[in-house]
Amino acid sequence: MRKQWLVLLVAVLASATLWGCGSSGGSGGSDVTDTDVLGEDAAGNAIVSTAKCIECHETISWSSDIVEGYLAGKHVIHSDHITAESGDCLQCHDPNGDGPGIEELIDTANVPAEGLAAVGCETCHGGGEDHFGVGPMPIAKPGIDECATCHDNDIHHAYHPEADFIASNFLESRHYTASVRNEAICSKCHTDEGGRLYRNVSTKTQLEATVLPVSSDEPVQCKTCHDPHNAGGLLMAEVEDHGHVVASAEYATCSTCHMSDREDPADNPEWMYHDEVYYRVISDTHYDDPATENVIEGYVIDPLNERACRDCHDVHTVMEIRADEDSSSFSNTINDQWSKSPHGGFIGDIKLQTAEAYDDMDLNRTAEQLTAIKEAGTDDTISPAWTHYNWDSTFQEDGVTADRGSCQECHTATGAMNYLNDPENYDFANNDFSHLDNWDAVGGSTQNELLYCWGCHSNNSGELRNPGATSRPYTVDGVNVTMPDTGNSNVCINCHGARGNVEGYALTADPATSMATVNPGFAPAVDGNTTKNVTNAHYLVASATLYAADTKIGYEYADQSYAPVPYFEHGSIGLNADSPETGAGPCVACHMQTAESHTFEVVEKDDMGVITALTSTACVECHTGAHGAGLVAEDTETENGLQTAEAAAAFLEEEAEGYHEALEILNQALIAKGLTFSNNYPYFSGDSWINEGTFGAAHNYNYLHHEPGAYAHNRYYAKRLIFDSLDWLDNGVLDGTITIDAATYPEADAWLASGAARP
C-alpha cells in the first residue's frame, strides 16, 4: 500500500502546474539562465533560490503546510541581531542570499531594517537546477551531516549557549551511538524512521499492535525529534485533554520513549513498556508520590514547561546510564553526581542501594525492583533541608501561621531561582509551585522540591544565576551585612551565609547580676524563659564562617581579637580581583574543582566517616609550603620534603577530630552550667539563668555545631571562639588558659594547644 501511495504522489507531482522553468518532464532539462541563480552549491549545482521553491510548493496540498511552517520558523525569522548585512554570520544564517527574495512573504515586523537573512531550502537540499518539482535533488533527505554544517561550532555562546558543538556532542551521545534496533516494537525508539512514524504510540498495547519493522538502519538523529522545515520546532505537538494543554511539545517528545513520570506502574502497568528495566525509564528517579508528604521519591517535572527536560539535561549530550552491559550502576554524569549530593537529597545513592538490594534477592530487572526503586526516597532523617517542613506553604502543618515563605529562597528550587534572578525585588508571594500536586499558595502541596539544577543554573550549559554581592538579613553595628562579590560562588552565598548573628538579640547586662536578657519580641522560648534562647545562625553557614570578619557570626568576647591571621586567604580563593568578579570564588573553586564536581565533596570518607583522601585540587594549589602541613594530593616534592596524599588525608582527619572533640568539650561545659543542647528550636533548655558570656558560649556551640567544616573554612576563627567560650565557662573570666583532659580528648588537646597561649 505504501508503494502504491508513493507512485500516486509522483504522478500527481509530475502533472502539477509547475513554475514555468521548463522542467522537460522532470528529467533535468532547464531553461534557467545565469541571471536566475544565486550561485552554486559545493557540488557545482546551480542554486535557483528559495523564492522559486516556495512559488511551487505553496500550491501543493502536501507541502503547503511545510511552506507555512518554514516561513514561521527560525531558519527564516532569526532574531533582532542577524540581518542581510551581518557579514561573516551569513555563511550560516543566509549562505545563498535567499533572505531578500522572501521578505514579502513574511510579516514586515519580522524584516530587519537592514534586510532579511534566511537559511534557504537549497542550503540543506543542495542546488535545485535539476529539480523543478519532480526531478532529482542533490540531497533529498538531509541528515545530521547537513545540520552539522552550521550547528557545530563554539561561536554561539552569547546568544545560544546550549548550541556550542551541538552536532559533535550528539554524534558521541547515546542517542546516536546506541544500538540500532529496527525490528518491530524496538524501532519506535531505536531508529530515526521508527521514531518519526510511531512517535504518537504511547501504551504497551498500542506498541505491540502498531509498531512494525522499518527498513532503515539510521539511528536517532536531528530529524527524529525536530521539524527541519519549522526550525526550532519539534515534530511532536503539545498534548491537549478536553481543550486544555497538559504537556509541552518537549515533554511529549522525550517521554514518548523515556515514558511519563506521572503514572505509577503498580497502578497502571499498561502505561509502561520497559517496566522490568528500571534504568530505561525516567520514572525511577522522576516520580514523587504526592501521598508521602515527608518523603521525596524523585524529581517533580512540570510537564507544561517548554523546557521540561532541558532545564536539567543537555538532551544532545546523552551519556551511557550504565557502567557496562552487565551493570545497573548509575553513570558518572553531572546529573548523577547531583543526585548523590546533599542538594539532591542523596536520592541517587538511595535508589542505587535499593536496586542492589533487589539484585541480591535475584530480582534484578523485574517489575518488583522498579516499583521498589520508585518508592525509595529521602526523608527527614537524611535530608531535613528538603523534607522537614511543607516549604511551599506559608503556614506550619498545625495551622499556626509561620513564615515558611521566607524559607523558600533556600529550601526550594523555585524560590532559589527567583531569588538569584533578582534579589532586590524577590518576593516569596510570587513563587509559583503549581507543578506540585494540588498546590495552593497558603496550604502548599504534599510534595516538596530538592535543589534542582535550574535553581542555580540558567541553562544546561552550566551558566549560573549570579546575583552579585549578596546582602544578608542581619546586621553588624546596625548595618546590614553585605557579602563580597565572589564571582560564580555568589550562587552559594545566600543559602550558606547564615540567617542571623548575635546582634539579632538585644543583649543587656544587669550590673548587679551580670545577667543577659533577650529581646522578647525576637524569638521567645517555648517554655517562656526567653533567656534560654540563642541566636539562630542557621545551618551549614560556611560562607558566613569564611567571611567572619564581615559577618561577626560568632559571639566575640570583648577585648579579644578575632581578626584573620596574616596568611589567611581562604576568602580570596578562585577570585580574579576584577569588577564584577569573574572568578570561580572559594565555594566553587574548593567544592567543585574535583573529578565529580556536582557531589560538592572536598574529601572522601570511609564507612566510619574517616577522611581517606582529598578530591579537591584547590587545597594543594596553595598548601605546599610552610602552612601546607601535608596538604598535597599526590606524592610531591615541597620545601618540607616528600609529602604524600595519605599524609594530606591524615592531617585533615586530625583537624576534623580535634575540632569535633573540642566542640564536645564545650557541650559538656554548657551542660555543667545547666544548659542542655537540642537540635530542635529553641536549641537549649535548662533551669539556670545565663550571663552574657555564657549566652555567647551557647551561641558559639550552636553555630559551630551546625557548621561541621569550620575547621577548614576559617580554622583560627573557630579555634578562638571555642577557646574563649571554654575559658569563660571555666571561671567567668577570660584569663587566656583552658584545661583539657588529654587522655579523654587527645585530638582536641593537640588542636587547641591546651595550656598554651590562646590561638
Whether residue 274 sits in one domain with residue 179: no
pLDDT beyond 60 at 517: no
Burial of 203 (0-12, 13-18, 19+ CB in 10 A): middle
Count Cβ atoms below 10 Å from residue 454 Cβ, excluding itself: 19
Query: Is 134 within a domain?
Result: yes
pLDDT tens column, 404-426: 898 999 999 999 999 999 999 99
Backbone angles phi, psi at 644, to 5 degrees: -120, 160
Backbone angles phi, psi at 650, to 5 degrees: -65, -40
pLDDT beyond 70 at 260: yes
Whether residue 261 sits in one domain with residue 133: no
Whether residue 418 sits in one domain with residue 380: no
- The average pLDDT across 363-390 equals 93
- The average pLDDT across 127-134 equals 86
Specify the DSSP class assigned to residue 246.
E
pLDDT beyond 60 at 460: yes
Query: Is 664 within a domain?
Result: yes
Which CA distances in Å does 248 have to 173, 195, 229, 422, 551?
A: 24, 18, 20, 27, 45
Query: Is 148 within a domain?
Result: no
Query: Is 542 within a domain?
Result: yes
Burial of 311 (0-12, 13-18, 19+ CB in 10 A): buried
Q: Helices 50-57 and 61-72, interaxial angle, to 10°?
A: 140
Q: Which amino acid is at 180?
A: V
Q: Is 697 helix (H, G, I), strand (E, B) or coil?
A: helix
Report residue 595 as a C-alpha cell.
573529578
Sequence-distant (≥ 6) Cβ neighbours of residue 649 within 8 angstroms: 603, 604, 611, 612, 613, 614
Sequence-distant (≥ 6) Cβ neighbours of residue 355 within 8 angstroms: 278, 328, 364, 369, 373
Whether residue 579 sits in one domain with residue 448: no
| Residue finishing a domain among 182, 198, 225 | 225
Report residue 748 as a C-alpha cell.
582536641
pLDDT for 120: 96
Whether residue 217 sits in one domain with residue 138: no
How many CA atoms lie within 13 Å of 456's alpha carbon, on the beta-carbon side?
A: 21
For residue 339, the surrounding DSSP H or E stretch is: helix 334-339
- The average pLDDT across 687-703 equals 81
Which CA distances in Å does 262 have to 200, 283, 286, 559, 575?
A: 17, 8, 9, 61, 44
> Greater confidence, 198 or 333?
198
pLDDT confidence tier of residue 331, bands split at 50, 70 and 90: low
Whether residue 103 sits in one domain with residue 33: yes
pLDDT tens column, 421-454: 999 999 999 999 999 999 998 889 999 999 999 9
pLDDT tens column, 23-43: 333 333 344 444 467 889 989
Count Cβ atoms below 10 Å from residue 453 Cβ, excluding itself: 21
Specify the DSSP class assigned to residue 673.
T
Whether residue 57 sits in one domain with residue 35: yes
pLDDT for 14: 37
- Tell me which residue range forms the domain holding 216: 174-225
pLDDT for 525: 32
Query: Is 689 within a domain?
Result: yes
How far is the first Cα of the chain from the last one, in angstroms, to the nearest whole number?
A: 88
pLDDT beyond 90 at 497: yes
pLDDT tens column, 590-635: 999 888 899 999 999 999 999 988 888 787 777 764 444 445 444 4
pLDDT for 402: 61
With cell 542501594, the residue in question is 353
Whether residue 178 sits in one domain with residue 113: no
CA-CA-CA-CA dihedral for 116, 121, 125, 131, to nearest 10: -130
Whether residue 481 sits in one domain with residue 439: no
pLDDT for 644: 62
- Strands 636-638, 676-677: pairing is unpaired
Query: Is 626 within a domain?
Result: yes
| Residue finishing a domain among 327, 351, 384 | 384
Query: Is 154 within a domain?
Result: no
pLDDT for 518: 43
Whether residue 542 sits in one domain with residue 630: yes
Return mean pLDDT, the chain.
84
Alpha helices in 211-248 (DSSP H): 222-225
| CA gap 488, 582 in Å, rounded | 7
pLDDT for 724: 96
pLDDT confidence tier of residue 511, bands split at 50, 70 and 90: very low
With cell 545577667, the residue in question is 515
For residue 241, the surrounding DSSP H or E stretch is: strand 239-241
pLDDT beyond 90 at 540: yes
* Ramachandran sector of residue 506 (left: φ over 0; alpha: ψ -120 to 50; beta: rest): beta
> Greater confidence, 618 or 727?
727
Query: Is 161 within a domain?
Result: no
pLDDT for 110: 94
| CA gap 349, 377 in Å, rounded | 10
Question: Considering its fold, how many domains does the chain have in total?
Answer: 5
User: What share of residues in the chain are helix, strand, coil (percent, to 5)?
Assistant: 40, 5, 55
Contacts 24+ apart (CB under 8 A), 587-591: 587/486, 587/489, 587/492, 587/493, 587/496, 587/542, 587/543, 588/487, 588/488, 588/489, 588/492, 589/489, 589/618, 590/616, 590/618, 590/619, 591/616
Whether residue 635 sits in one domain with residue 716: yes
pLDDT for 642: 37
Burial profile 516-550: b = 16 or more Cβ within 10 angstroms, e = fewer: bbbeeeebebeeebbbbbbbbbbbbbbbbbbbbeb
Is the distance from CB of 26 to CB of 134 less than 8 angstroms?
yes
Burial of 514 (0-12, 13-18, 19+ CB in 10 A): middle
What are the beta bridge partners of residue 106?
none
- The average pLDDT across 379-399 equals 85
| CA gap 166, 170 in Å, rounded | 6
Whether residue 286 sits in one domain with residue 412: no
> Greater confidence, 695 or 151?
151
| Residue finishing a domain among 384, 402, 428 | 384
pLDDT confidence tier of residue 726, bands split at 50, 70 and 90: very high
> Greater confidence, 400 or 722?
722
